[in-house]
Homo-oligomer: A and B are copies of this chain.
């Protein structure tokens, strides 16, 4: 009675010596109200995944860390000037009793030598007493792909592709007497 996973997977992946990075859009889900209108149930995001290397071209998928960018956080990324740094903080347990126990911070910082960015994720887990730091260098070209792909995906993770969808009904009443 388990249903298969529908849909398509095509993350943009950057493999580097110490870690791999991937990014993929996650669409919002909608709930249909009694009126027939669909409203956002769970918001969409851009899912970033950081995986540390454990050897040449080998990555430790067990130690993968996630960071989900909200639409506004995508706005931070795509409006980043060429010398700007941006830092984003998440608490995955926010509003629960574990609030503050795990802190994630994502930093996007231009290389001091110019041309490209370093994207780093720090995860401090006070429950497990661990601190992980994974960092991936991006060339200008790789970062341009991330920005262009995030710009493309932004209206989709906001659900605006659904809002601007063609409704087949055509107004034909207003000019009728």
A27 to B169, CA, bound (A): 12
Q: Which A1-56 residues sit within 8 Å CB-CB of chain B?
A: 3-10, 12, 24-25, 27-32, 34-42
Min C-beta distance of A4 to chain B, whole Å: 3
A71 to B171, CA, bound (A): 20
A113 to B153, CA, bound (A): 31
Asked if A165 is at the interface of the complex by the 8 Å CB criterion, the answer is yes
- Residue tally, chain A, CB below 8 Å to B: 65
21 contacts between A and B (CB under 8 A): A3-B36, A5-B35, A5-B37, A7-B37, A7-B38, A8-B39, A9-B40, A10-B39, A10-B160, A12-B158, A31-B171, A32-B172, A38-B170, A41-B174, A71-B145, A75-B143, A78-B148, A149-B158, A153-B160, A153-B164, A165-B166
A61 to B29, CA, bound (A): 25
Majority SS of interface residues in chain A? mixed
Interface flags for A134-172 (1: CB within 8 Å of B; 0: not) read 000001111111001101111110111111111101111
A37 to B10, CA, bound (A): 11
4 tightest A-B CB contacts, nearest first: A4-B36, A10-B159, A79-B144, A75-B141
A79 to B116, CA, bound (A): 11
Chain B's closest residue to A168 (CB) is B6
Q: Which residues of B are found within 8 Å of A79, using beta-carbon distances?
A: 140-141, 143-144
A30 touches which one: B75, B159, B170 (CB < 8 A)?
A: B170
Contacts from A to B (Cβ < 8 Å): 3-10, 12, 24-25, 27-32, 34-42, 71-76, 78-79, 139-145, 148-149, 151-156, 158-167, 169-172, 174-175
